[in-house]
């Protein structure tokens, strides 16, 4: 059965009847029947495949918001809020029962499923299934203005992983006496680590073991009670390459004083150990090696490969950072992995079996776009992380953005170019409404310092480097250095360099952001997709944008998109502009001020020491001559307002009275002159005259010269000095 | 020929919250229960998975009914075998009262006018058991929002004065682009309303006051033209206030306004 799609033609022809509604699934606590409340703005007596009857109790549907993580990986909540009118003090349930809201135990309403549905008259006629616009959990409700009750719902993550939740820290499994009865007290409560990818310090020559271990007590093996357990991580791993004691590689001790999975003398059938209902990778040691490690004088470390796809050591190493992120979501976010094989994806809810909590395909897609990237890291050996930290690390190291997709599944998307999925025009599609549109120069960075190879032992220090985007530096005539980026999940130089390059390329110019409002035919658009926009006021023709945020207003039946311009920045000043100083020979200045939309160019260079303007030209009377030494102002335009004002602030004087000076700005290529005002004074004016050019904007390039001519009577120099401003 | 308006007062409704039994017919689901037939809300339907039905209400004692309105249904226009019946016992082979219910044609937007029957002159109008039945198969599974039976058929006297206003609203949502291209969506509902004045004697004014006291903010029957098979279930729409202007000795001017009680979208 197809999911309903709303078309532009329906909206323009006014043929469609729209039925949005909210569904709230209230399950009795602690266990019991689930009553489904369905509320709309009008009474609709649908049959069961369209959700049965809906009562007209919705005052406001509020807005459904979905946003991608930003460049810093900040997790953005997906949420919705609505208000219900309960004037009868009865919220009817689908079973025909009624329940007095005042009698309910309100705490049982929290974390119950909220879904937004929509369908329409033609969709129902065609047998299309509803589009579920939001799946989430009730996180807040109450009334400030009875009988209006306000409900708020958040996505599956926000409601589950608040900083105060029971699983607010990762890894949430910590060392306990339930598994390790004689674990030293100082190690109890420490997290049981995760190991992903190939973590090794052998290739870089350190070769002392990059993976630390944690002492968790003793175990009797084959009747020998003297074996000490050194926990590597809280799951099976693909492979232990080498074990080190005090940074010295173990060679001949395997099976004698050291036991390691896959090495000689390993006495167990499996490479992992299941202890007290939890699965581990454990190294064993006894004698002086164990004693020194327990004392902390010669810790036991190892190199090798971490989590694999099966969960018993037999699978394929999971070594792509995006796929490692998905594995974390599977094992520790939507499941509570303790032991056994790795769990997989799970349905969103029991009543919603066809939609999983994770959009698995999106992770495969992004991984395929960066096939050579490798992630290798540990979590938990340097303390715990919040879920927000996990998302930040995953998106930075995976070079992707994370959010909730159109089906409320967790998903990732990269900004690799993709084919635009839809074209919109201001004539036919964009609803007339305030439409902010501006570049964000704070996001311009052409030097990206970065750090990789996280250190988990005392033996290795971090390394850092930086990537520069010379074209951007040239364009902006300045170096704009980003905050240092830590690629904490990366251990190979090639991936770190690739990530830095991607980041540098993304920030080389000021991105433009805009927000447009569309009708319901935009409901099927997805975060990260690209659209093309044609807008006459902004002079855009099929200009490409990427969807960064989607906000659905079911009261107004509109869809707001926050868009990032994928074209180069608003102004690409590819030709630098400066002026020769006739006396000192030094160049003038070219300054990009607060916004790339405002460029100030000083023409004529600094004044002489005496403070007098003295850059002279001596044109023939009536003939305009360029300001001496001047290189024309050439600007490649891609300016958003359809016109901008280019202002030349010009000071002129003559050497002797009796002549005059007239400035002008000339567009040579188009043979257009913009005259200034004639002056006759020999003193420097106290204020400049301004020659304003209304620039046609749009895409293109113009070259301007500042020129002057003199009067006919005296053949002496005149002086001219100016600066240029561009102000939209 | 046009007749005076016909109406009920809220407390006239003898079936209100009386639960029907259904010897013939099957409920579609528990979302559309029998209780919806008499909950005073036309929008909440009793839906069936069958095309014939008999609903029976046991009023406990013989109770007078003078008119019945059948609100928000999906019965075919002109369908035969649709009857309102009353009897002394719950047997319907030969009831004391059996009147056909004439189903009007649907209007252009799909809404069906609410049919009504006038049994005020019928000798057997006071019985313990009353029943509605569709005896022959409807073209689609049956649904009905309200069966409103009034103990009194009240006739507007005097009738609304000339100049009465009749209106309808079809709410929707509309936008337009900067170039004037319009987008429109319908909510799927249509709401009828009436407004007018009556010129009354003091006694008639008192009767209207009593009507308002009993029925404000509650649904009741309003049939603008007693000769037309088009009933409405309405409430007063006068801002919760009845204003009686005394124009002259024993003459009063009273503005009245009605608005349809919610009936939801068209029943299909």
Which residues 124-143 on chain B approach chain A with CB closer than 8 angstroms? 143
Q: Which two tokens stand for residue A340?
A: 């056994």
Closest approach of chain B CAs to the CA of A33, in angstroms?
A: 14
Q: Mean of the pLDDT values across residues A451-472? A: 68
Nearest beta carbon to residue B179 from set A16, A17, A427? A427
DSSP state of B265: S
List strand residue ranges (DSSP E) for A255-358, in order.
Answer: 258-259, 273-275, 278-285, 300-305, 347-349, 352-356
Residue A593 has pLDDT above 70, yes or no: no
Cβ pair A704, A632 in contact under 8 A:
yes
Closest approach of chain B CAs to the CA of A547, in angstroms?
A: 20
Q: Say if the Cβ atoms of B189 and A42 lie within 8 Å.
A: yes
pLDDT of residue B56: 98
A340 in the Ramachandran plot: left (φ > 0), alpha (ψ -120 to 50) or beta? left
In chain B, the N- to C-terminal Cα span, in Å, equals: 32
Residue in the structure block whose two tokens are 């009708």: A519
Judged by average pLDDT, the poorest of A187-196, A539-548, B62-71, B132-141 is A539-548
Q: How far apart are CA B196 and CA B198, in angstroms?
A: 7
Q: Which two tokens stand for residue A510?
A: 């000021």
Nearest beta carbon to residue A431 from set B35, B45, B175? B175
Q: Is the dihedral of CA B153, B156, B158, B159 positive or negative?
A: negative
pLDDT of residue B30: 85
Which residues 26-45 on chain B approach chain A with CB closer than 8 angstroms? 28-33, 35-36, 41, 43-45
Exposure of B9 by Cβ count < 10 A (0-12 exposed, 13-18 middle, 19+ buried)?
buried
Q: Is A465 helix (H, G, I), strand (E, B) or coil?
A: strand
Task: Kindly give, in sequence order, each residue whose CB lies less than 8 Å from that of residue A197, ignoring residues fewer than 6 positions away.
Answer: A305, A306, A317, A318, A319, A324, A374, A375, A376, A377, A489, A491
Top-confidence residue, A298 or A165: A298
pLDDT of residue A286: 96
Q: Which two tokens stand for residue B205?
A: 């004014």
Task: Kindly give, in sequence order, each residue whose CB lies less than 8 Å from that of residue A274, ignoring residues fewer than 6 positions away.
Answer: A280, A339
DSSP state of A49: G
Q: Is the dihedral of CA A613, A617, A622, A624 positive or negative?
A: negative
Exposure of B191 by Cβ count < 10 A (0-12 exposed, 13-18 middle, 19+ buried)?
middle
Partners of residue B177 in chain A, C-beta under 8 Å: 426-432
Nearest to A306 by CA among A288, A287, A291, A327: A327
DSSP state of A527: T
In this prediction, what percent of chain A has a pLDDT beyond 90?
43
Q: Mean of the pLDDT values across residues A175-189? A: 96
Residue A9 has pLDDT above 70, yes or no: yes
Strand-pairing partners, residue A198, are A305
DSSP code per residue over A90-143: B---TTS---BGGGS-GGGGTT-EEEEEEEEHHHHHHTPBPEEEEEEEEEEEEE
Residue in the structure block whose two tokens are 């009275």: A657
Q: Say if the Cβ atoms of A41 and B187 lie within 8 Å.
A: yes
Residue A48 has pLDDT above 80, yes or no: no
DSSP state of B140: S
Closest approach of chain A CAs to the CA of B220, in angstroms?
A: 18
**Weakly modelled stretches of chain B, pLDDT under 70:** 1
H or E segment and range at residue A476: helix A470-476
Residue A720 has pLDDT above 80, yes or no: no
Q: Mean of the pLDDT values across residues A229-246? A: 97
Q: Which two tokens stand for residue A691?
A: 């020659």
Cβ pair B202, B250 in contact under 8 A:
yes
Cβ pair A511, A543 in contact under 8 A:
no
């Amino acid at each position: 059965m197809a999911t309903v799609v709303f078309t532009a033609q329906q909206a323009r022809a006014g043929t469609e009847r729209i039925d949005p509604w909210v569904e709230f699934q209230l399950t009795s606590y602690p266990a019991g029947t689930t009553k489904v409340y369905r509320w709309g703005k009008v009474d609709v007596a649908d049959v069961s495949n369209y959700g049965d009857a809906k009562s007209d109790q919705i005052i406001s549907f509020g807005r459904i918001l979905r946003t991608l993580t930003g460049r810093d990986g900040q997790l953005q909540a997906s949420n919705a809020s609505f208000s219900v009118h309960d004037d009868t003090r009865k919220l009817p349930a689908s079973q025909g029962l009624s329940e007095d809201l005042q009698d309910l135990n309100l705490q049982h309403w929290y974390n119950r499923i909220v879904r937004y549905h929509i369908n329409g008259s033609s969709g129902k006629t065609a047998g299309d299934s509803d589009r579920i616009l939001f799946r989430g959990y009730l996180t807040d409700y109450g009334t400030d203005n009875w009988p209006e009750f306000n409900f708020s719902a958040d996505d599956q993550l926000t409601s589950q992983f608040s900083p105060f939740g029971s699983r607010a820290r990762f890894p949430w499994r910590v060392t306990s006496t339930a598994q390790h009865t004689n674990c030293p007290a100082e190690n109890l409560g420490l997290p049981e680590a995760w190991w992903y990818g190939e973590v090794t310090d052998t290739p870089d020559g350190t070769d002392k073991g990059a993976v630390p271990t944690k002492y968790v007590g003793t175990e009797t093996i084959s009747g020998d009670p003297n074996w000490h357990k050194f926990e590597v991580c809280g799951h099976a791993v693909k492979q232990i390459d080498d074990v080190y004691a005090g940074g010295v590689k173990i060679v001949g001790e395997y099976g004698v004083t050291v036991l390691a999975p896959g090495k000689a003398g390993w006495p167990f059938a499996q490479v992992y150990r299941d202890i007290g209902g939890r699965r581990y990778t454990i190294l064993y040691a006894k004698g002086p090696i164990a004693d020194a490690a327990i004392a902390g004088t010669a810790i036991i470390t190892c190199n090798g490969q971490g989590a694999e796809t099966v969960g018993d050591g037999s699978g394929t190493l999971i070594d792509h950072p995006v796929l490692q992120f998905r594995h974390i979501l599977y094992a520790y976010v939507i499941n509570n992995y303790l032991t056994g094989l790795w769990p997989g994806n799970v349905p969103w809810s029991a009543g919603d079996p066809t939609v999983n909590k994770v959009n698995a395909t999106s992770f495969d897609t992004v991984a395929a776009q960066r096939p050579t990237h490798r992630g290798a890291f540990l979590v938990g050996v340097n303390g715990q992380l919040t879920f927000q930290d996990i998302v930040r690390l995953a998106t930075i190291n995976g070079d992707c953005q994370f959010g909730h997709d159109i089906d409320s599944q967790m998903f990732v998307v990269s900004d690799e170019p993709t084919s635009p999925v839809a074209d919109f025009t201001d004539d036919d599609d964009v609803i007339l409404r305030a439409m902010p549109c501006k570049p964000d120069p704070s996001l311009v960075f052409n030097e990206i310092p970065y750090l990789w190879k996280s250190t988990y032992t005392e033996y290795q220090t971090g390394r850092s480097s930086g990537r520069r985007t010379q074209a951007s530096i040239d364009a902006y005539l300045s170096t704009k250095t980003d905050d240092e980026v830590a690629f904490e999940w990366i251990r190979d130089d090639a991936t770190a360099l690739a990530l830095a390059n991607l980041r540098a390329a993304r920030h080389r110019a000021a991105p433009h952001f805009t927000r447009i409002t569309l009708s319901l035919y935009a409901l099927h658009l997805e975060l990260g997709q690209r659209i093309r926009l044609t807008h006459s006021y902004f002079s855009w023709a099929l200009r490409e944008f990427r969807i960064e945020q989607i906000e659905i207003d079911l009261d107004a039946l509109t869809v707001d998109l926050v868009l990032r311009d994928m074209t180069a920045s608003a102004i690409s000043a590819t030709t630098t502009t400066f002026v020769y100083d006739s006396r000192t020979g030094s160049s003038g200045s070219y300054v990009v001020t607060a916004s790339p939309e405002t460029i100030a160019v000083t023409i004529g260079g600094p004044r002489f020491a005496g403070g007098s303007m003295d850059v002279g030209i001596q044109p023939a009377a009536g003939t305009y001559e360029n300001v001496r030494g001047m290189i024309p102002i050439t600007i490649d335009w891609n300016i958003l307002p359809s016109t901008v004002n280019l202002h030349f602030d010009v000071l002129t004087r003559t050497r002797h009275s009796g002549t005059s000076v007239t400035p002008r700005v000339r567009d040579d290529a188009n043979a257009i002159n913009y005259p200034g005002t004639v002056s006759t004074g020999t003193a420097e004016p106290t204020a400049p005259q301004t020659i304003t050019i209304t620039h046609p904007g749009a895409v293109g390039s113009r070259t301007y010269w500042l020129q002057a001519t003199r009067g006919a009577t005296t053949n002496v120099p005149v002086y001219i000095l100016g600066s240029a401003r561009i102000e939209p | 020929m046009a007749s005076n308006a016909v109406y009920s007062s809220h407390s006239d409704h003898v079936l209100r919250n009386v639960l029907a039994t259904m010897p013939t017919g099957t409920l579609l689901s528990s979302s559309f229960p029998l209780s919806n037939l008499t909950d005073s809300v036309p929008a909440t339907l009793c839906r069936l998975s069958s095309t014939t039905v008999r609903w029976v209400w046991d009023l406990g004692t013989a109770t007078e009914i003078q008119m019945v309105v059948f609100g928000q249904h999906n019965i075919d226009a002109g369908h035969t075998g649709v009857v309102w019946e009353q009897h002394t016992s719950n047997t319907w082979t030969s009831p004391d009262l059996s009147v056909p219910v004439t189903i009007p044609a649907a209007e252009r937007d799909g809404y069906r006018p609410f049919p009504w029957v006038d049994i005020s002159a019928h000798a057997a109008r006071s019985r313990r058991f009353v029943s509605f039945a569709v005896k022959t198969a409807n073209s689609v599974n049956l649904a009905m929002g309200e069966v409103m039976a009034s103990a009194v058929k009240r006739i507007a006297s005097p009738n609304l004065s000339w100049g009465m206003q009749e209106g309808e609203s079809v709410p929707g949502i509309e936008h337009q682009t900067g170039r004037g291209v319009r987008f429109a969506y319908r909510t799927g509902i249509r709401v009828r309303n009436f407004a007018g004045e009556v010129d009354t004697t003091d006694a008639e004014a008192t009767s209207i006051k009593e009507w308002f006291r009993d029925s404000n903010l509650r649904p009741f029957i309003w049939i603008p033209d007693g000769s037309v098979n088009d009933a409405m279930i309405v409430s007063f729409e006068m801002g919760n206030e009845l204003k009686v202007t005394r124009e002259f000795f024993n003459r009063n001017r009273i503005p009245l306004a009605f608005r349809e009680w919610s009936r939801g979208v068209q029943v299909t």
